[in-house]
Each structure stands twice: as structure tokens, then as C-alpha cells.
Structure 1
Amino acid sequence: MVNNEINEKLVECANIQKGDIVLEIGPGTGSLTNSLVEAGAHVIAVEKDPAMAELIMERFQDSGLVEVVNEDFMKWRIRTSIEYFRNHYSAKGIPFKQIKVVSNLPFNITTPVVKRILPMGDIFSSMVLLLQDEAAYRLIDMSPQASNYRSISLFVQFFSVAQYEMKVSRSNFFPRPNVDGAIISFNIKSALDYPSVSSTKSFFTLVNMAFAEKRKMLRNSLEHKHPPAKIRNALKSVNLDETARPAELTLDQFVALYNALDASKENHPVDCT
């Protein structure tokens, strides 16, 4: 449970307006849900725990603004379910637009949730999360050579514009955790705004391979996928040193390197998975 002032700050950071459709992951006892309802949002609350899901149903049944899904979000079929809700809201005369995600996430599922939501810019317009402070910095630190810079930093930058909104002292939580929290916002990009690569899936295969041993030089970490000469030529063609390491490259430089390695292929299938 979190101090209600923090819930109101989450609503404010998400710029919730009356009539917005909001996805809340893990509503728990419904303290954030209540702030969203007070702001006039239609809430789709996905709760794994059956007892908590029933509690949310009972607490907000008279509001007419909360739909409860008793499922594990990581197994929830997002696109199929959102299509159901599109029809559901349309039948009630509620305009259906892109969904905002607002959630006080369990700290241990932050990265998996981010990886599920951000590539769906056709469904979601923004996401505001309350999460562990250290995890927040890992997600938004876009500076090469920074201690938190890793593949997830590039993933976030590829699919969104992220911003650290504020630190949340551990004293705002009950029971009190051993770490501070933070509010972070994501303006989710549409596919037209992604960096230009032939396949996002293949691009992140390369990025993850590079960061698997981020202290290694790229020419060594990528040799399992590409011949050494091809890697050297690609590095040279994009003005990168042969001794370059993954933690030294910006997103744009990774995109350039990927495209240089990809240029020798005869076909360029478009894959937006």
C-alpha cells in the first residue's frame, strides 16, 4: 500500500482526464484504482490474486468505471482482450482510444512488464509506473559508459521517450520496504517513429548478444553470429573503432552497426515483432 498523495501524483503524471481508458496492473486493494476512478477514468484492472480481484470488484461495482480481469498479466492475451474491451466500451457508447497504463508495480516484474507494453504503441499511448528507484535508473539511463547502461536502456529508448518524474521515499509505503521508489513515465512511440531497422527482433538479438558480455569488444561478442571480417568492415563503415565495446555505443550507433551488418543480405524482410 502507498501514501495516497503518491497515487494522486501518479494520476497527475499520467495526465488522466475524464473518459480516459487506463490499464492498471496489479491493483491490490485498490488505492490507486480509487484515485483513477476519482479522476473519471475507465479502469481495466488486471489482478492475479483471486481474493484481491474479488475485493476490487466489490469495492468499485457501483462506480461503473472498473472492469476486473482475474489473470496473471504476464500470461494475459493483451491484443485479444483489448479487442474485447474495444467492443465492450463501444457498446456502452464510450469512445475507445489509445490506452494509458498506470501502475504501482511489484518491483520484481518491472522489466517483463516494460518489455510487453512498450512495443504496443498501436494500443498504448503512455505508461506511468511506480517502481524501485534503482530499477528506474536502469530503464532510463541512456548515457553510454554509465553504470546502469545496458540492453534494456536501449529497448526503452527504441520504443519510447522515458522520463524520471520523482523519487518516492520508502516512508510512503506500508509495509515499509528497504528501498526507495520512483515514478517514471514513458511516452510510447508508434511504429513510424522507431529507428529504421529491417527487423526489430533481429536488432535486439544483436543488442542482447553484445551486452551478454558487455566488457568484451564487439568484434568478439558478435563473432558467434557474423564472420570476423564482416564485423570489422561493418564497424569501420559506421566510424566505430575495432576495439569498441557495447557500453560505448548510443542507440543510433547500434542501429547503424546493425544496418551495416544487415546490408550484405539479399533480402530485407520487414518484421515488426
Structure 2
Amino acid sequence: MDRLVSPKVTKEIVNKYGFRFSKSLGQNFLIDENILYKIIDGAEVNKEDMVIEVGPGIGTLTQALAEEANKVIAIEIDKNLLPILSETLGDKDNVEIVNEDVLKLNLHKLIEEKCEGKPVKVIANLPYYVTTPIIMKFLEEKVPVKNIVVMIQKEVADRMQAKPRSKDYGSLSVAVQYYCEPHIITKVPRSVFIPQPNVESTVIRLTVRDEPKVKVKDEKLLFAVVRAAFGKRRKTLLNALTNSGLGVDKEIIKKVLEESGIEGNRRGETLTIEEFAKLSDILYDYK
């Protein structure tokens, strides 16, 4: 099969099957070989690797991954793409297509059955509307993943790697950095897709930590505190945590802040992950 990354071949395949791009599924196909290999190089794919690709589209990235990896499991939700994938990947015996919604999949079972239970690398050009739910599913369910290399909306990538006291820093920054070490690989212009999306993209690598960045007594409580702190960014911590649904009155919040050495007039965007961990651990003892 000819290289799909060619704009000419991509258009021919799409026209041959009368494929209609779905806006609701966020379908944009990559047509730039340079970006393609930046994704693969960024994930450091080798012949030992088991790779899960989410949303293979017509198989552009999948083709290249199959040449570099041990095995590729491509999860595609759109049934209309299955006949195309059958043709474009028909000569790749180390590729398996799974026609499912990744958000509904038992990923641990999938890896156990199809990847011999080995840790995997996740590589994808993710639909923008489900970027965060897909990434957080892999992280929160503690799926055995070495790294996640994804092409996502630039603004989301900026938030994932943002530091405290920056405008992009928020609950997503804390959640991703709790589990991973983020690293921007490259920025991606709109012109390298068919059809062109309305936003700029970024390829980001999330290297999954062996252990979370901080150790806490209650992970769920940590993220509840983080969400509360960022729920209303203009509010001070004292007011944000008091009126947040944490179920703790203002006097307790005052005591927790005092014991943690964190001033109540600070805002959530100024706190490090370590400070959020300290807050949640002290709060845990009061609940």
C-alpha cells in the first residue's frame, strides 16, 4: 500500500470509499511525513514495543508505527473506517483493529489479552473534544503505560505542562503532572491536515511516573481540593474551599490552611502540587 501520509493518496482513498468526515468525531487526517515521524521519534518506538493507537483514521500513523513497533492495537470507533483500514493495513500482520469506543473499554483486559500484559505506549492524533477524558482514563485507571504521545489542541497541551502562577495553570495541569512528566515535542500547523481544523495543534509526550509526583492519604480528596481551588479562580483559597461542596465549614478550612502554612488569601493558581497534597492530607484528618 502506498504511503497514506501523501495528500494525493489520502484524497484517493477517501474518494474511493466515499468517506465523509465526521465533525462530531473530530476527524482530521495527517498529511505531513515530518510530523508523522516526530510523533514516532517522540515516543521512542522500537521493535520491543506494544503500541495502542487511539483513532487510527485511515491508518496513516498506523502504517508507520507497524514498521517500528512489535505490535499495534488500533482502537477505532467509526465503523465506516473499517473497510478502509482493511485495505490500507492489509499487509501489516502486526496490526489489530479494535472497533470500540476507547472510553468504554476495559483497558487492563485489552492489554492482558492482546499485548501479553506488557506495558504499552499510547500514541494518537486525538479528537479534540475527547482529549482529556481519554488521557485521564489511561492515567486514573492506572493502565500499565510507559508514555503517552498525542497530538492535541495547542491550548490543552499548554495547560498540561503549565507551572504555578501562569495563566494556563489549572486542575488539568495538576492532574497530568501528578501522574506524568510532560514534554512538548513540536507545534503543528493546521495546514498538515485534511480537512484543516480550526485550531493549532501540539504533539506532547507524557512520560508516566513509576509513582505519582506526591504521596497522599486520599487521591480522590486531593483532586476534590484541586477542583475546588480552581472552580472559581478569582476567589481566595479560604472562600473557594469553603463554598465548594467539600462538606467542610469555614472554621475547619481556616484550621487546615493554618496547619499547612498556606495563607487563606492565596489563590489556587499559586499552589504547587506539593502544597495541594499537604492541604488534602491535613483536611483528610478532619473529615
What secondary structure sits across from 1:198 in the alignment? coil
Q: Which residue of 1 aligns with 2:183?
A: 163
Q: What is the TM-score with the length of structure 1 in the denominator?
A: 0.88
Q: Which residue of 1 aligns with 2:271?
A: 249
Runs of 4+ in 1 over 4 A off after TM superposition: none
Shift of 1:122: 5.0
Q: Distance in 2 between the 1:48 and 1:105 partners?
A: 12
What secondary structure sits across from 1:222 in the alignment? helix
- The answer for unaligned runs of 5 or more in structure 2 is 1-28
What secondary structure sits across from 1:263 in the alignment? helix
Q: Which residue of 2 aligns with 1:221?
A: 240
Aligned: 1:131 with 2:152: yes
Q: Which residue of 1 aligns with 2:108?
A: 79
Which one of the candidate residues 162, 165, 176 is aligned to 2:196? Answer: 176
Shift of 1:177: 2.2
Shift of 1:118: 2.0
For 1:34-73, list aligned pairs within 5 A.
Answer: 34-73=63-102
Kindly provide the CA deviation profile for residues 10-35 of structure 1, in whole angstroms up to 9, marking residues without a partner as x. Answer: 00000000131000000000000011
- Is contact 1:121-1:188 (8 Å) kept? no
Which one of the candidate residues 211, 217, 233 is aligned to 2:230? Answer: 211
Q: Which residue of 2 aligns with 1:108?
A: 129
Q: Distance in 2 between the 1:103 and 1:43 partners?
A: 12
What secondary structure sits across from 1:71 in the alignment? coil
Q: Distance in 2 between the 1:217 and 1:117 partners?
A: 32
Counterpart residue identity of residue 226, structure 1: V
Counterpart residue identity of residue 144, structure 1: P
Counterpart residue identity of residue 147, structure 1: K
Kindly provide the CA deviation profile for residues 243-263 of structure 1, in whole angstroms up to 9, marking residues without a partner as x. Answer: 121111111111111111113
Q: Distance in 2 between the 1:122 and 1:115 partners?
A: 10
Q: Which moved more, 1:105-114 or 1:48-57?
A: 48-57
Q: Distance in 1 between the 2:90 and 2:53 partners?
A: 16
Q: Distance in 1 between the 2:80 and 2:91 partners?
A: 19
Q: Distance in 1 between the 2:248 and 2:266 partners?
A: 16
